[in-house]
Amino acid sequence: MWGRIEMKKGDAWFKAVTFGFALSIPFLLLILILILLIQSWSSISHFGFGFIFGNVWDPLADKFSALPFIYGTLVSSLIALAIAVPLGMGCAIYLSEISHSKVKEYIAVMVELLAAIPSVVYGLWGIFVLGPWLTRVIPGMKYGSCLLTGGVILAIMILPTITAISREVFQAVPNSLRESALALGATRWETFRLAVFGPALSGIVGAIILGLGRALGETMAVTMVIGNRPEISASLFEPSYTLASVIANEFAEATSSLNLSALIELALILLVLTIIVNGIARLLVWKTTLKYNPN
Amino acid sequence: MIKKFLAVLISTALLSGAAFAATLNGAGATFPYPIYVKWNSIYSNKTGVQVNYQGIGSGGGIRQFSSGVVDFGGSDAPLTEAQIDAAGGDVLHIPTVMGAVVVSYNLQGVSGLKLDSDVLAGIFLGKIKNWNDPAVAALNPGENFPDKAILVAHRSDGSGTTSIFTDYLAKVSLKWASQVGAGTAVSWPAGVGGKGNAGVAGQIKVNDGAIGYVELSYAMTNNLSVAALKNKAGRYIVPTLDSTSAAADGAMASSKIKKMISSGDFRLNLNNAPGVDSYPIVGMTWILVHKNQKDAEKGRALVDYLKWILSDGQQYVSELLYAPLPSSVRSKVLNAVNGIKI
């Protein structure tokens, strides 16, 4: 429509300004990647691909590699999702489909409160309460600072995100769909499964992605409970380390330029990791929406 | 009320504008941050000279100092020759205060733990894994050690405390020196990392069987149980401000340190100092300045400030649980400060 009809001056300005704003987002991302690339170049050229697959992180010997951190980041986030997705979805289903409006209000407020707690508070609570409790409850767990505790803390932190958004998504499904399912004699569960879940699916995946994004990038709470040990261990009860944590921990005191550059390369890897994870999730959304809404 | 407040605000703004002499900017180590902030506020009240110090870490401080962003840097570890070259070559290390690093532990049924350097290194190397190890019991006759795995807690963030502690271990243990080394961040052979003194102390507190290291001031304010360490003279010394000062005095007696001081090199290593009362893990923190100041006005302000912290300023040191510099060193450092070319 633009262009065919002669534009008013105001419209032209409007278009130009908003176009500029829209452009600023990809521009920012590009600049970010570019700066990270430039600053990490000495590490990239020094270590090559070995950086990604290596196992050593020794600031004194100027030997750096990323695999233990990538492992810790991915596994802790996966644990978080494994706990938070069923829990958050269940909560959201109850809130939107079953509960009375009074209960709904109270729980919704509490979920939002959970989201507003600063991560350092979660971290302290993780050290002094969650970690010791997990060691008492889970046999074989020797100390509170480990990959599992990190994952559980993350789960609690992303729970409000997943719950709140899923609830919104469920509520956005038109009531007429529910009514028609009920009219056909469906039970509450069948109504949810047939009439609500399908249309809401892409939104749910969106909620999970947002939660995952927070889990991948979370720094403070995780570093306080994960044990900060750059090692890959098959056991979830052993200490681990994440990309964001090591950057936060070592950046201020990194003295050698290669150390600094390696930390920035970790940041680049974290960024790329998030982009890949996001891409996969988008693909999933696209596929599932195609399945449920072929048109 | 608001009017009054505004009037005060404006008048102080005007006054400070009138008294404006120079502003000094510094950045670096977090270990001396509390005392630097205290000094700066007292000093600016006294003289009107504004001194800003950002506790961004020694590494960041050294970088900002080298690139000329700040007028002075703060570091818990002396610069290497390469770092001095990168900063322009004319770097003066000015020691300001000293502190001790203590070994803190949490073990039910055991109080008054005693350790020597071999056992301490063995524990942190991950070679001594259980509290019932005979090597530990041999140093603590009368104590009953449980069958409990040792959990080593160390700093996960780069830190001057780690630098002092690992330097001590490297000094007393060949194995530590060859396998791990000394620095603000090292590749730890064992244990879990906690962020900051509080992170390490937290790990120790919640885990029965844990052992770690924190700054003396932190351990004292939080009443942590600390181990007595065997010093060079063979005595077990509990960390206190007095035994920290004793270590400095002991170190000053050595001919090597004497020679360094008289040549104006203050990169003194106080770890494992001789002397019967010396606590073995002690370090100093430095302010880094250029020997040749480019800006005359700033240079003069900086010299005055440094002179003040080395003389009057030292009286505020012990209340913040740092150990003041021995007077013999102070006079030599003052000479060096006077030699700064403006």
Rounded to a whole number of angstroms, the distance from the CA of A274 to the nearest CA of chain B is 24
Q: Which residues of chain B have pLDDT under 50?
A: 13-19
The Cα–Cα gap between A212 and A216 comes to 6
Rounded to a whole number of angstroms, the distance from the CA of A141 to the nearest CA of chain B is 12
Minimal-distance CA residue of chain A relative to B195: A224
Rounded to a whole number of angstroms, the distance from the CA of B181 to the nearest CA of chain A is 7
Q: What is the pLDDT of residues B200-237, one digit of tens each?
A: 999 999 999 999 999 998 898 888 899 999 999 999 99
The Cα–Cα gap between A293 and B264 comes to 80
Mean pLDDT of A235-254: 91
Give the three-class secondary structure for B31. coil
Neighbours of A193 (CB within 10 A): 13
Give the per-residue pLDDT at B264: 86
**In the structure, what pLDDT confidence band is assigned to residue A47 with cuts at 50, 70 and 90?**
very high
Domain positions in chain A: 52-292
* Pick from B58, B149, B199: CB nearest A224: B199
Contact B217, B321 (CB under 8 A): yes
Give the per-residue pLDDT at B14: 47
From residue B173, alpha-carbon distances to B123, B179, B210, B227 in Å are 12, 10, 21, 18
* DSSP structural state of residue B320: G
The contacts found for A101-110 with CB under 8 angstroms, 24 or more apart, are A108/A164, A108/A167
Q: Match domain A52-292 to its CATH number in 1.10.3720.10, 3.30.70.141, 3.50.50.100, 1.10.1060.10.
A: 1.10.3720.10
Give the per-residue pLDDT at B16: 47
Contacts of B62 in chain A (CB under 8 A): 255
Contacts of A60 in chain B (CB under 8 A): 180-183, 185-187
Q: Do residue B57 and residue A228 have CB atoms under 8 angstroms apart?
A: no
The single-letter code of the amino acid at B67 is S
The CATH number assigned to the domain with range B2-97+285-338 reads 3.40.190.10
Q: Do residue A144 and residue B206 have CB atoms under 8 angstroms apart?
A: yes
Rounded to a whole number of angstroms, the distance from the CA of A151 to the nearest CA of chain B is 16
The CATH number assigned to the domain with range B101-246 reads 3.40.190.10
Domain positions in chain B: 2-97+285-338, 101-246
To test the contact with chain A by mutation, choose from B195, B204, B205 the residue with the greatest count of A C-beta atoms within 10 A, namely B195
ipTM of the complex: 0.81
| Structure token digits, residue B87 | 């900063």
DSSP string covering A62-115: TB---HHHHHHHHHHHHHHHHHHHHHHHHHHHIIIIIS-HHHHHHHHHHHHHHH
Give the per-residue pLDDT at B18: 41
Q: What is the pLDDT of residues B144-178, one digit of tens each?
A: 999 999 999 999 988 889 999 999 999 999 999 99
| Structure token digits, residue A19 | 């176009």
